[in-house]
């Protein structure tokens, strides 16, 4: 019971929760990007495909460029919004 109260007040859990939601948001963005380009450009007849660097445009934008964009987003978020937190448990000392 005491451990649950301490976990609710522990700032590490607040930071970890926020960073986890950022990760979920980036993953959702990656899926939307991939789905939008893969099925947006890829739903055309093959005779209408445009090619970039030898790849169909839908594949280039969804898989190659999407990977680069999401990797850049991860780097930016890790450097700018994520912060290092100590993993050691701080023992609360009751002063009597």
**Contacts of residue 36, Cβ cutoff 8 Å, sequence gap at least 6:** 62
Check residue 93 and give its pLDDT. 45
CA 32 to chain centre: 12
Q: What's the longest Cα–Cα distance across the chain?
A: 81
Q: What is the pLDDT of residue 79?
A: 93
The pLDDT of residue 66 is above 90: yes
pLDDT at site 82: 87
Residue 5 confidence (pLDDT): 58
pLDDT digits (tens, 9 = 90+) for 8-64: 667 788 888 999 999 999 999 999 999 998 888 777 778 888 899 999 888 999 999
Residues 18/21/22/27 CA torsion (nearest 10 deg): 160
């Amino acid at each position: 019971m005491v451990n649950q109260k301490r976990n609710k007040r522990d700032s590490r859990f607040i930071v970890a929760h926020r960073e986890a939601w950022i990760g979920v948001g980036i993953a959702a963005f990656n899926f939307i990007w991939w789905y939008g380009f893969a099925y947006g450009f890829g739903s055309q007849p093959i005779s209408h495909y445009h090619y970039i660097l030898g790849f169909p445009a839908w594949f280039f934008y969804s898989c190659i460029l999407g990977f680069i964009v999401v990797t850049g987003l991860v780097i930016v978020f890790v450097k700018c919004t994520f912060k290092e937190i100590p993993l050691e448990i701080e023992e609360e000392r009751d002063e009597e």
